[in-house]
Amino acid sequence: MEAYIADWLNLLLRWLHGITGIAWIGASFYFIWLDNHLETPQEPDSDAKGVGGELWSVHGGGFYHAQKYRVAPPSIPETLHWFKWEAYTTWLSGMAMLVLVYWYGAQVYLIDPAVADLSVAAAVAIAASFIIGGWVVYDLLCKSPLARDTRVFAIILLALSGVLAWSLCQLFGGRGAYIHFGAVLGTIMVANVFFVIIPGQNKMVTAATRGEAPDPAPGIRAKQRSVHNTYFTLPVLFVMTSNHYAMTYGHAYNWVILIGISLAGALIRIYFVERHKGRASVLPIIVAVLILAAIAAAIVPRTTATDGVATTFDQVRNVVNARCTTCHADSPTHPAFPAAAMGVVLDTDERILAEAARIHQQAVVTRVMPIGNLTAMTDDERRIIDQWYKGL
C-alpha cells in the first residue's frame, strides 16, 4: 500500500509540475519575446507618459496593444498582474517530487554502489548541499565584478556547470545525477525570481505608488537574472525528460554528455533570443547541431566480439528471473514497485523475447538495469544476455 500511495503522489506531483512549468516557461518566453519586439511608440503623447516601447499583436480573434514604460507609469493602476506563483509552484512541486522519488527512494533512484557507496542519509545531505550551494555560489558571482562582462561570466558559468555535472556523476547514479543537475539550475531560476526579480519589482511599485522616481538599479538586476533564467530553461527541460534515455545518463562519460546537451540547449535559446531582435546569426544553431551530432556519434552502441561460447535461452531465462522479475513482473516483489516498472513485464518466455532489444540495451549497452544494480547482476550474466541477443 505504501508503494501504491507513493505512485499516486508521484503521478499527481508530476502532473502539477508539468502544468505549472508550462505556465512559468511560457510566460517567461513570452515576455522575452515581447521585450525584444517592442517598437518606438507612434502616439505623440506616449513619450511624455514615459512609454519606452509598444507592440501590436493579434491572437484568438482579438487585437492587443502592449506598452512598456521606461521606468514606471505616472500612477500605478488598481489592478496589477504579477508573474511569480507559476515559478514558485513549479519549484515546490518539483522539489516535492525530488524528495518523494530520489530522496525517499534513494536506494533505488539515487545511490549506485558502483559509483559511490553512500548511505541514504549521506546521499540526501550531499544532494541538498549541492542544491543550496549552487544558488549561493551563483548569487555571489552575480554580485561580483565578474558579472560585468557577460561573455566572461558566461564562460565561468559554463565551467562551473561542467564541474557540477562531473561532481554529481561521481557521487550518484546517472539518473539521480542528471535530475539533481536540473534541480540546481531550477533552484537558481526560482531563487532569482524570489530574491531578486520580485523584490526589485516591489521596490519599483512602492516608489511609483508614493509618486517618487523609481530607482532603475533593481530593474537592471532583475533583467540580468531574467536573461540567465531563459538560457537555463532548455537544459532543465532536457533533464526533466532524460530519465527516459538511459543512453545518456547510463554512459561512462555521462557528465560530458550532460554538459554538451546543456550547452546545445543554451545555444539554441541564444539563437531564438537574438532572432527576436531581428539580427540572429545561425552560428549558435550550427554549433548546437554539431554538438548534438557529435554526442550521438560518440555514444552509438559498439559491436563487441563474443567469446564463441554458445548461450542457451535457459541461461537467459535464469538471469532474467534472478535479476529482473523482482521489478518486472505482473506482481513485483520489490517493495518500491506496486506494478511492473515502466510497464515492462518479463515473467514469461514470450515476454522476454518480445523485450529482447530493450533488455540488451538496458542491461548490456547502458548497464543502467537493474536500477542501481539492486539485484547485483554480474558481468558474466550481462555477457550471457549480450551473446544471446547477438545470436537472435
Taking the C-alpha atoms of residue 13 and residue 85, their distance in angstroms, rounded to an integer, is 16
Does the bond joining 199 to the residue before it have cis omega, within 30 degrees of 0? no
Its pTM stands at 0.88
Phi and psi at residue 176, in whole multiples of 5°? -65, -35
Residues 85 and 65 in one domain: no
Within-domain flag for 298: no
Within-domain flag for 194: yes
Taking the C-alpha atoms of residue 126 and residue 124, their distance in angstroms, rounded to an integer, is 5
Residues 50 and 109 in one domain: no
333: CB partners within 8 A, 6+ apart: 325, 326
**Under a CB-based contact definition with an 8 Å cutoff, are residues 325 and 347 in contact?**
yes
Residues 163 and 206 in one domain: yes
Final residue belonging to a domain, choices 230, 259, 288: 259
> How confident is the model over 5-28, as pLDDT tens digits?
888 998 999 999 999 999 999 999
Within-domain flag for 107: yes
Residues 103 and 213 in one domain: yes
75, with CB counted inside 10 A (0-12, 13-18, 19+), is exposed
Residues 228 and 364 in one domain: no
Residues 58 and 91 in one domain: no
Within-domain flag for 135: yes
Say how many domains are in the chain.
Answer: 3
Taking the C-alpha atoms of residue 96 and residue 14, their distance in angstroms, rounded to an integer, is 9
Neighbours of 310 (CB within 10 A): 9
pLDDT in tens, the chain (392 residues): 677 888 899 899 999 999 999 999 999 999 989 988 999 998 888 888 889 999 999 999 899 999 998 888 888 888 899 999 999 999 999 999 999 999 999 998 999 998 999 999 999 999 999 999 999 999 999 999 999 999 999 999 999 999 999 999 999 999 999 999 999 999 999 999 999 999 998 988 888 888 887 787 888 898 899 999 999 999 999 999 999 899 999 999 999 999 999 999 999 999 999 988 887 899 999 999 999 999 999 999 876 555 556 788 899 999 999 999 999 998 888 887 888 888 899 989 999 999 999 999 999 988 889 988 888 899 999 999 999 998 88
The helix (H) or strand (E) run that includes residue 54 is strand 51-59
Residues 244 and 362 in one domain: no
Within-domain flag for 175: yes
- Domain hosting 65: range is 38-69
Phi and psi at residue 95, in whole multiples of 5°? -70, -40
Residues 57 and 134 in one domain: no
Does the bond joining 41 to the residue before it have cis omega, within 30 degrees of 0? no
> How confident is the model over 372-384, as pLDDT tens digits?
888 889 999 999 9
**Under a CB-based contact definition with an 8 Å cutoff, are residues 255 and 169 in contact?**
yes
Q: Which residue has the cell 509540475?
A: 17
User: Three cell numbers at 29?
Assistant: 518566453
Residues 361 and 242 in one domain: no
Within-domain flag for 28: no
Residues 136 and 217 in one domain: yes
Residues 115 and 194 in one domain: yes
Residues 131 and 158 in one domain: yes
